[in-house]
Structure 1
């Protein structure tokens, strides 16, 4: 194991990659060693840890404040200096702090960015900590896999989210269409969804059949909606090690998924490139794929559009299998932290069952742990049980690769080329594979400079 790590720090704004300069540091100490050493120096010494996170809404910020206060009350010898940073500035400031050698002890990261930080050596592996007292069996294996890079766990998850099929119940009933099952293990197939969308599509009245993946906006965000369709048809985006798209993105199953997606817009014309404002609650969109977070949004902004009366929710459709993307913001430890054991003590509290209960009671998010989710009756009942069960049983990581931004851009462009540009699928897919594999090769070459 090398005792130095390479910090890639140049392309912060362009691609989300760290590139260029290198820094050296001590090799990781076994869990417990640092704590014992500190204790031998001064048992009463108070350790101060810096904790950076992206600032959320008022409720999320208040929940974190409560967690920090609860932790410091239990651990008076550990002080947490929490620094919330606006989302738009967060990644840039964090990467600059790492490149300059002054990162926070604890940092929050969004799941897709994990591999770039871990690949650069900016994160301390947490595997030994998890095995010692992280209660790994309380977390779905697919969730832990989302925060694992090259066989090491680097992040501890706090919450999860999921997406499902939202449908206009009154439109279904008016057209004599049977309602989908609410059982998370009994989804409609995409063919059933298409059949319903064709019957519900009514251009004369400005009603669209389905929005299958929240449009073509930010590539990283739309990946959360588009990749499950590929998986559901038996396809893949990249190799399990995140090094290549060849043999995966260009597989027959992946191309079948892309073909189906594009035909919703072009051949079947049940989907549109542009929808009127808020089409679903306004009765202009019969079916949409949306997230668990939309329940509160619809209830707040459209109180007359009621769950159970005007709309309902069903599990995400399947092709040959069920699949949904997982991964959210999680907590990790800087490889340069002088107090990794104390940092783990904090992270293990925040992301443990007690911490998740505190946080999710306030935010109404979905806990990542089985035990925490069981403590909330509403998460075990319709409609939220659909999101919880899907994530726990059918969740999958988005590609874990240090070139996630470049990969996501290439895949999003591929979907746009085929769907909007009506390009030949084989050509568009081949270009995406080339772009992804070149991005990985370039990143590897940069690391060796």
Structure 2
């Protein structure tokens, strides 16, 4: 189901929804706490395929503190989440709160299907340092609809053991794409099943997370924000496509990478067979679990010229769907997530990124340099803002992935490849 179809569904649902519950309209004079506002179980939906370990810990921490209003957490398959939300709103069967892939929030905000929390949360001091990428998409026409649930940022992970074997300095990761290519060539030359680079060939989301920042760092703009906006602008688009095509031709990626649809993306770096890879902060723990003896480092994703960098800030928001009867408790759960104690003793202790920048200076991160390194990506990160992200970028049949696959695996003229994708993106954005 496309998000355009979903938007139409939830727009109709909004017309038939009727008045909100008394709790959901009583925001102005309610003071949020980190405890129960009322008794009884809270229902929460969250997508699968995200940072389940982190969400489970957050819910467990809330439940331990608030036994009278525990959160019952249900995971919905990622590919079904948007449709499930739309159907729930249409039928009036919604959870009290939910985690939402942050990139889809603007479309639901525009369709008036999330509870406007502005009066309840706008004065919170914690929002001043909350992840800017999250808060950008949590805001629609100056109204606030949610807060960060967890943050994922993309960065360049590199295998120090393979760097050393290839005669490279393990403490000097590449600072530009030409340097990355040169390093990858040397690592691939080690032979066997070792490759210098990893490129997910059939995963639109993986590529916007890891290849998109290479374009941003090279001065490009990718998505069309809305009708009339121009996508795929700047020389960096073609430069990065040519870079990736050359990496494939040079044999710097495994042949099997071409079929990667995201299911095993998170397991690639920990295999020890990849020299460098754009991936996320979640891979620190995963790689260590997979390959405890492997030494690795983290750097910022580079652009064409030295010391130009970018990152994709992803993750989830926690929001309240229209029809929720437990808005005050849901808001208190948000306050709990942003509290100093939870930021440090739950997020940071588990070596997950804090969602407030002022909480990054903590004892757990100081003891773990890799988390400090990946946290630097927050300073150069961005989150696309468009009402048609799925159709333009994330759809397996969308113009973004089609463009990338033609660039990576065919000899088609790149100017034509880009022009075709640009045309499709503009047509999609014109319908928003």
Whether the 8 Å CA contact 1:143–1:396 is kept in 2: the answer is no
| Structure 1 residues 394 and 361: CA distance shift in structure 2, 3 A | closer
Give deviations 1:354-381, integer Å, cap 9, x for gaps: 3333532674321111243333433564
Q: Which residue of 2 aligns with 1:176?
A: 167
Hey, what's the Cα distance between the residues in 2 that align with 1:94 and 1:248? Answer: 29
More displaced, 53-62 or 420-429? 53-62
- Partner SS for 2:314: coil
Whether the 8 Å CA contact 1:258–1:415 is kept in 2: the answer is yes
Whether the 8 Å CA contact 2:118–2:143 is kept in 1: the answer is yes
Give deviations 1:94-134, integer Å, cap 9, x for gaps: 22101223322311101122122212211123344332125
Note if 1:344 corresponds to 2:301: no
Hey, what's the Cα distance between the residues in 1 that align with 2:271 and 2:60? Answer: 38
Q: Which residue of 2 aligns with 1:394?
A: 380
For structure 1, the 5+ residue unaligned runs are 1-10, 37-43, 445-449
Candidates 370, 390, 397, aligned match of 1:405: 390
TM-score after normalising by structure 2: 0.81
Hey, what's the Cα distance between the residues in 2 that align with 1:365 and 1:194? Answer: 30
Q: Which residue of 2 aligns with 1:63?
A: 57
Q: Which residue of 2 aligns with 1:256?
A: 239
Candidates 46, 51, 54, aligned match of 1:53: 46
Q: Which residue of 1 aligns with 2:34?
A: none
Candidates 293, 313, 324, aligned match of 1:326: 313
Candidates 292, 300, 306, aligned match of 2:294: 306
Note if 1:160 corresponds to 2:151: yes
**Following superposition of structure 1 onto structure 2, how do residues 264-283 of structure 1 map, counting pairs within 5 Å?**
264-266=247-249, 268-274=250-256
Whether the 8 Å CA contact 2:155–2:210 is kept in 1: the answer is no
- Partner SS for 2:298: strand
Shift in Å, 1:160: 1.5
Hey, what's the Cα distance between the residues in 2 that align with 1:245 and 1:413? Answer: 22
For structure 2, the 5+ residue unaligned runs are 32-36, 259-263
- Partner SS for 2:256: coil
| Structure 1 residues 99 and 356: CA distance shift in structure 2, 3 A | farther
TM-score after normalising by structure 1: 0.78
- Partner SS for 1:161: strand
Shift in Å, 1:158: 2.7
- Residues matched between the structures, number: 405
Hey, what's the Cα distance between the residues in 1 that align with 2:172 and 2:350? Answer: 28
| Structure 1 residues 62 and 199: CA distance shift in structure 2, 3 A | closer
| Structure 1 residues 156 and 200: CA distance shift in structure 2, 3 A | same
Hey, what's the Cα distance between the residues in 2 that align with 1:283 and 1:97? Answer: 43
Shift in Å, 1:58: 7.8
Note if 1:85 corresponds to 2:75: yes
Hey, what's the Cα distance between the residues in 2 that align with 1:280 and 1:264? Answer: 17
Q: Which residue of 1 aligns with 2:184?
A: 197
Hey, what's the Cα distance between the residues in 2 that align with 1:173 and 1:203? Answer: 11
Shift in Å, 1:244: 4.9
Hey, what's the Cα distance between the residues in 2 that align with 1:238 and 1:205? Answer: 39
| Structure 1 residues 250 and 162: CA distance shift in structure 2, 3 A | closer
Shift in Å, 1:49: 4.6
Whether the 8 Å CA contact 2:158–2:297 is kept in 1: the answer is yes
Whether the 8 Å CA contact 1:32–1:341 is kept in 2: the answer is no
Whether the 8 Å CA contact 2:348–2:364 is kept in 1: the answer is no
Hey, what's the Cα distance between the residues in 2 that align with 1:137 and 1:57? Answer: 24
Whether the 8 Å CA contact 1:220–1:405 is kept in 2: the answer is no
Q: Which residue of 2 aligns with 1:441?
A: 430
Hey, what's the Cα distance between the residues in 1 that align with 2:427 and 2:119? Answer: 34
Shift in Å, 1:157: 0.4
**Following superposition of structure 1 onto structure 2, how do residues 3-402 of structure 1 map, counting pairs within 5 Å?**
11=1, 17-20=6-9, 21-24=12-15, 25-26=18-19, 29=25, 31-33=27-29, 35=30, 46=39, 49-54=42-47, 59-60=53-54, 62-72=56-66, 79-88=69-78, 89-181=80-172, 188-202=175-189, 205-211=192-198, 214-239=199-224, 242-244=225-227, 247-266=230-249, 268-274=250-256, 284-303=273-292, 305-307=293-295, 311-320=296-305, 321-360=308-347, 363-378=350-365, 381-391=368-378, 393-397=379-383, 399-402=384-387
